[in-house]
């Protein structure tokens, strides 16, 4: 008992609640990677077969249309997004949507690095979505489906018209495998292995619609493209990228780990089962928030709340009366208690986001562990609050 607050009796078995890299699947061990073709060329038959298997399983589980290309590309989700921005933008004006740090980063790249002139920034603060009705889909549109650092997602793709003239470029790294995305409304989708399926970092996925492929083959950007960004040769799509012939050397150990995660997802029942697990985990947190007045969701509207990267703010009056630095220190103290008790690691808010907590609720987390964590949140808050009160006395 700390400061009169009793420690909960139950601890989560899995204490990994980081929002990236995220928890491995239940039951994972290094033994699952024993079939990795280590020491072999990724261009040998065995390597190409593994890479093609990863692509095919991705298509199967995400329900990607047959005429969409799926490629494994360098540098995680960031690399995949950058490839799309540098290869596709500039043919027409672009609307950049931003409501958290990663979306803001894409705005910076387009305005300051690509130096595009015809750019409209449609922005909102943490916790909110921008006004999606103002987006002009005669232009290209870049947005994150799920804001990992704010816990705010688009509720669906209804705001995107089917007869758009521009391309939609969607960073879906913390949405893929946990949320139902309408690929008919999306021309470019990117994500990384280390988010919802808990894979290893360093590799990105790039999914292209036929409209995106047509743009690649008909439009040449005004700027030079480095080798790792090049998706075409002689005006034609490099088809090998989308069958397992990667641009640079992938880690076959990471590929094996991704395949293991995909097979686990398939064994559960695919996307529907993964989404249900994430929804159940998020509901545990939302129910806790509803029952405790000291904490709230950072996402204002219920329909926009993420079921993966759940972001929370501390709203206790004694805490909100503090200045920003002191509020941040209080939240970090709560996070430190959880870590020191060994019940939850990496649950602090993203460095650019408002202070608070961020708890990963994706499918690789078991609902029982999420339920076990909730009393510890209350314990950590009350312990930190007691310390605050004592210091003020």
Dump pLDDT digits (tens) for 26-53.
999 999 999 999 999 999 999 999 999 9
**287, 294 in Cβ contact below 8 A?**
no
Model confidence, pTM:
0.97
Domain residue extents for the chain? 30-267, 270-392
Structural contact between residues 214 and 261, judged by C-beta atoms closer than 8 angstroms: no
Q: What are the C-alpha distances in Å from 185 to residues 86, 104, 191, 307? A: 21, 22, 17, 21
Residue 1: predicted pLDDT: 56
- CATH number for region 30-267: 3.40.640.10
* pLDDT for position 314: 98
Assess whether the region 30-267 and the region 270-392 belong to the same CATH fold: no
Residue 368, pLDDT score: 98
Q: What share of the chain is helix, strand, coil (3-state, %, to 5)?
A: 40, 15, 45
What six digits make up the tokens of 342? 């060994």
Q: Are 127 and 298 in contact (CB under 8 A)?
A: yes
The Cα–Cα gap between 151 and 362 comes to 12
**Residue ranges in the chain whose pLDDT is less than 70:** 1-4
**HSE-up of 122 (CA within 13 Å, CB side)?**
19
d(CA 268, CA 157): 26
Task: Round to whole Å and give the CA distance between 333 and 327.
Answer: 10
Where on the phi/psi map is residue 345: left (φ > 0), alpha (ψ -120 to 50), or beta?
A: beta
CATH class, domain 270-392, is alpha beta
Residues 6+ apart with CB under 8 A from 244: 47, 48, 49, 50, 51, 52, 54, 55, 72
Q: Name the β-bridge partners of 190.
A: 171, 206
Report the alpha-carbon distance of residue 19 to residue 173 in Å, rounded.
Answer: 11
For residues 205-217, one letter each, b for 16 or more C-beta atoms within 10 angstroms of the residue's C-beta and e for the rest, the string is bbbbbeebbebbe
Q: Among 375, 382, 372, which residue's Cα sits nearest to residue 11?
A: 372
């Amino acid at each position: 008992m700390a400061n009169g607050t009793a420690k909960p009796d139950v601890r989560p078995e899995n204490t990994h609640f980081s929002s990236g890299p995220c928890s491995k699947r239940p039951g994972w061990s290094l033994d699952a990677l024993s079939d990795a073709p280590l020491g072999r060329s990724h261009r040998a038959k065995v390597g190409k077969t593994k890479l093609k298997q990863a692509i095919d399983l991705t298509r199967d589980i995400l329900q990607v249309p047959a005429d969409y290309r799926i490629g494994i590309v360098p540098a995680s989700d960031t690399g995949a997004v950058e490839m799309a921005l540098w290869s596709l933008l500039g043919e027409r004006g672009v609307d950049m949507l931003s409501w958290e740090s990663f979306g803001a980063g894409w705005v910076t790249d387009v305005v300051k690095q690509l130096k595009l002139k015809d750019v409209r920034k449609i922005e909102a603060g943490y916790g909110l979505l921008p006004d999606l009705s103002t987006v002009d889909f005669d232009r290209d549109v870049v947005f994150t489906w799920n804001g990992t650092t704010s816990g705010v997602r688009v509720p669906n793709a209804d705001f995107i018209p089917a007869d758009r003239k521009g391309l939609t470029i969607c960073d879906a790294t913390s949405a893929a495998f946990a949320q139902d995305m309408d690929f008919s409304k999306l021309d470019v989708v990117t994500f990384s292995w280390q988010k919802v399926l808990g894979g290893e970092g360093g590799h990105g996925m790039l999914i292209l619609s036929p409209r995106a492929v047509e743009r690649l083959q008909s439009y040449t950007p005004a700027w030079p493209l480095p080798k790792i960004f090049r998706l075409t040769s002689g005006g034609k799509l490099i088809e090998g990228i989308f069958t397992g012939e990667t641009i640079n050397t992938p880690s076959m150990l990471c590929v094996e780990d991704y395949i293991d995660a995909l097979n686990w997802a398939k064994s559960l029942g695919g996307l529907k089962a993964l989404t249900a697990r994430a929804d159940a985990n998020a509901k545990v947190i939302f129910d806790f928030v509803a029952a405790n007045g000291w904490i709230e969701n950072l996402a204002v509207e219920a329909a926009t709340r993420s079921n993966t990267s759940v972001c929370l703010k501390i709203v206790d009056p004694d805490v909100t009366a503090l200045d920003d630095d002191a509020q941040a220190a209080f939240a970090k103290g709560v996070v430190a208690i959880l870590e020191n008790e060994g019940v939850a690691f990496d649950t602090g808010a993203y460095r650019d986001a408002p202070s608070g907590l961020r708890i990963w609720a994706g499918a690789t987390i078991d609902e029982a562990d999420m339920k076990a964590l909730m009393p510890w949140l209350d314990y950590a808050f009350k312990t930190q609050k007691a310390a605050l009160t004592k210091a003020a006395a």
